[in-house]
Amino acid sequence: MRILLATVFNYPHTGGLSTHMTTLQSGLQALGHDVETLSFSDLPYYKQQLFAKGPSFFMNRMSPGKGILLGHKLRQNMLKEMIKKKHEQKPYDLVNAQDIYATFASLEAGLNTVTTVHGYMTFEAISRGSIKSESEEAKVLQLKETEAYQKTRQVITVDYRIRNYVRDLAGVEGIRVHNFIDVDQFLPQTDRKQELRNKFGFKEEDKLIFIPRRLTKKNGVIYPAKSLSLIQQTFPTAKIIYAGSGEEEQAVRDAAKAGGTESDVHFLGDIPHEVMKDYYAMSDITIIPSVHSAGVEEATSISALEAMGSGVPVIASKVGGLKEIIEHGENGLLVPEKDTEALADAVITLLSNQTFGDRIALQARLKIEQEYSHVSAATSYSSIYEKILQYA
């Protein structure tokens, strides 16, 4: 099959959607399919600014929230024209849209379309502060979600909660194919820990806590910073490393300053996905501290899967899809969301008992190999595509 993975957002970028596209493309290609990606980033920079970002910015200044809807619509129209042009040059059998506006773009271009739903688009916009809860813009965006789910040939969701959300919102029964990782790329590399610490300027005695998360409210990134002073009472050399950017960065910095730990909290910003492997390998623990935020609940976190695949003990909040992939005490630790004391206790438990940490990390790797392989997931996607094309 000739398949297009499309999104109105930037690609590649730091975040689960981008990682999903890259890894799905790799898995589908391993099965012999011809797979391309297309995104807003494929437009010339001046077109991005002049015909989408600029109008969206000015509209938002005049009427907060409306600019977001305008920007999405403009991106949709531009993506539609790109899809049509590439389809005319070499036809696609099917488009797998990664968001609702890419769904509309593909449908309007006249192509067979399936849609992967990664989250709760309206509630995530509210959580980010892009639109206000109960506003006219929120209602319009949710109507657009409903329309997209009803018009696409098949909805695919990355966890059960999102599948239920789509069913309740649009009356559409999606197929759940949980998130996945390239198990050949994210491998245990604990033997390289000191080599990598030397490379990035950390000491052997440092206790490194890695947080590979966009700095946004729903990811709960402020809570590890709040817990660090408690951790340092037992392990004074504990340090936190954040990989990602977002609107919560200043709040995290303020929390570290308030706790007197600002010199031990490091912000990498957005780093290339391949570099993430090195930070997993040199860290002692990975934390996925997600929280409920404006109706948004964490899906099956790709960051959690990557950490588990990399042989690093994982601590995660007991929310959303994280409860599906982590069995407390068996292949990771689960803690109540927003509970800094419980989070600190979990970190101290792992740092105090390396044998226990090694055991749960090994079990996590085995789970990833057996259930979250990119080739296994690509096989499921390929089967869905084939069924759609049979009735095209």
Domains and CATH numbers, the chain: 2-180+373-390 (3.40.50.2000), 190-371 (3.40.50.2000)
On the 0-12 / 13-18 / 19+ scale of CB atoms within 10 A, 333 is buried
- Please state the pTM of the whole predicted model: 0.80
- pLDDT of amino acid 193: 93
Residues 6+ apart with CB under 8 A from 60: 66, 67, 68
pLDDT of residue 60: 83
Point out which residues pair with 332 in neighbouring strands. Answer: 328
Name the token pair of 97: 């849209």
Q: Average pLDDT for consecutive 10-residue bins of the chain (392 residues)?
A: 97 84 95 97 92 87 87 96 97 98 98 96 88 92 97 95 94 94 89 94 96 92 98 98 94 97 96 90 96 74 93 94 91 97 98 97 94 92 96 76
CA distance 89 to 269: 38
* CA–CA dist 35, 138 (Å, integer): 34
CA atoms within 13 A of residue 315's CA, in its CB half-sphere: 30
Q: Please say whether the dihedral angle defined by the alpha carbons of residues 316, 186, 214 and 357, taken in this order, is positive or negative.
A: positive
Q: So what's the pLDDT on residue 299?
A: 66
Residue with tokens 């399919």: 33
Which of 348, 297, 341 is CA-nearest to residue 318? 297
CB atoms within 10 A of CB 340: 21
The pLDDT score that the predictor gives to residue 43 is: 93
Please count the other Cβ atoms lying within 10 Å of the Cβ belonging to residue 111. 22
Side chain identity, residue 270: D
Tell me the CA distances in angstroms from 215 to 173, 243, 258, 382, one per residue in order.
32, 8, 18, 33
Residue 324 has phi, psi (to 5 degrees) of: -80, -35
Q: What is the maximal distance between C-alpha atoms in the chain? A: 64
Residues 58, 50 contacting (CB under 8 angstroms): no
Tokens of 129: 């502060």
Helix axes 354-371, 340-352, angle to 10 degrees: 100
| CA–CA distances in Å: residue 154 to residues 115, 213, 291 | 6, 29, 29
* 296 phi/psi in degrees, rounded to 5: -95, 135
